[in-house]
Structure formats: C-alpha cells, structure tokens
Amino acid sequence: MTSHDRANVLWKIRRLVEGDPDLKFGLTGVDGEGGPSAEEVLALVGEAAEFDPDPLLRHEPVPIDPRRVLDSLEAAGGRLALAAARGERVLLATGHPVGLVLLYVAVGELLVDHGAKLLRPLEGLHWREGGWRREVRYLHGVAVLNSHGSSLHTHSPEAMERMLEEVRPDLVFADHGFAGAAIEAGVETVAIADINDPALVVAKAQGRTEVVVVMDDNVRPEDYWPCFQAIASRFP
C-alpha cells in the first residue's frame, strides 16, 4: 500500500511541530512546545506504518505495510466487540465523510446488532465557528460536521468538544479533531489516522490512547470493505 508522497508527510510533520492548530486536532503536548521533535515524529510515523524514516528521503511514495493496517484494525475490532458485549455507549464521528463514512456506518450497525448503544449528542443544534454556521448531523448514527447542508472535511476539535459537554461516552471511534478532542478529554478512543496527520500517532506514543489505525483515510468509500471485515472478525 502507498499513500502520500514523502515531501507531503515531512511538510505536515514540520507544521505540527511548529504548532499549527489545524494539525494538532485539539491535542496539547504534541507540538514542539514540550512535545517531540520533527525527527521523533517522523520515526513514530515510520514505525506505525513500517517505512524507512530517513529524513533525507524526500520524494518517494510512503508505503504503509498492509499487515500493520490489518493488525491495528483487528485490535480496533477487539475493543469495539468488547464495547458491544458490555452494552457500552459509543460515539462514532468522522472528519472525512467522503472517504470513511461507509466504514463507520457498517461498524455502527455491527455495534448495535451486538448490544452497544450509539449516541447522538448535539443533534439538531447549531453554532458559529469562524463566522460559519456549523451543525452535527448523523448518517446512520455517524456524526459528521455540516455547514448549510454540506458535509465537511474537518480537522477541528470544536464539534467533539461541544458533544462531550452534553454526554460522556464509554468509547469513541473517530478520526481527525473528533478523535483528538476525545483523547484530550480523557475519553477512551479508537482512532483512524493518516500518515500525513501525525498528531494521533504522537498521542498514542505518549500513552494517551491505545488503538490508532494508521492508513490512508481518503480512498473510495467502497475500498474500505476489507477494513470492515478485519474489524468484524473480532465480533462473535
């Protein structure tokens, strides 16, 4: 598997270390202010995806070992299956609705079928963010950020921060700022992270979350079917 080119990954790592809030996903301690260096972040991402973290390699595609992806998905499936068996309250959310929403919808149906409860905080409420109207809408139980009827790709943690003011889930399964805000709030989180969005990988290395699936988060929605199968393999 390949994802972004190395120059893009290195650029976004530098932006994270420099403190770009769009790449921090609502997490503290993941940038250069008391956090890791760019070289350390690159090493963490390289370990998570199993590619050579040599900073002198700048223009090659960055491979992602599919075995690592499947192992992480099975670990995610194990925690999600446990949530269902316990009847836990689970919150699903994605900042990448075009790519990942079908995967989350299928996982949500699996969770409900096996005993979990999906939460829907903030449903029907609106607020202003950066001068824009914002709303959380749910697609078969999966939260996505909307603006005037359009689903948004977002890194912002604000929607999840607001959702957690209304309810405290037992488990969150999310990505981007939805996952970052939940981790920052101390809510147990299963996260999906692209290799060019390293904040969640850093949080895992810091011991703040346990399961982070590192994979390309923006391929065709139907192409995540094997990912769902890996998760579902851990359910009875």
* Stretch 152-161: mean pLDDT: 97
What's the predicted TM-score (pTM) here? 0.95
Quick check: is 51 in a domain? no
CB 90 within 8 A of CB 118: yes
Instruction: Say which CATH number the domain at 133 has.
Output: 3.40.50
Average pLDDT, stretch 217-223? Answer: 93
Segment 114-130 shows an average pLDDT of 94
CB distance 190 to 178 below 8 Å? no
From residue 99, alpha-carbon distances to 59, 132, 205, 213, 233 in Å are 25, 23, 26, 15, 22
Per-residue model confidence (pLDDT) at position 215 = 94
Other CB atoms within a 10 A radius of the CB of residue 227 amount to 23
What is the pLDDT of the chain when averaged over all its residues? Answer: 94
Q: Write down the residue that tokens 């956090």 correspond to.
A: 35
Residue 13 lies in a domain: no
The total domain count for the chain is: 1
Which domain range does residue 98 map to?
A: 66-232
pLDDT class for 56, splitting at 50, 70, 90?
low
Is the backbone of residue 204 left (phi > 0), alpha (psi -120 to 50) or beta?
A: alpha
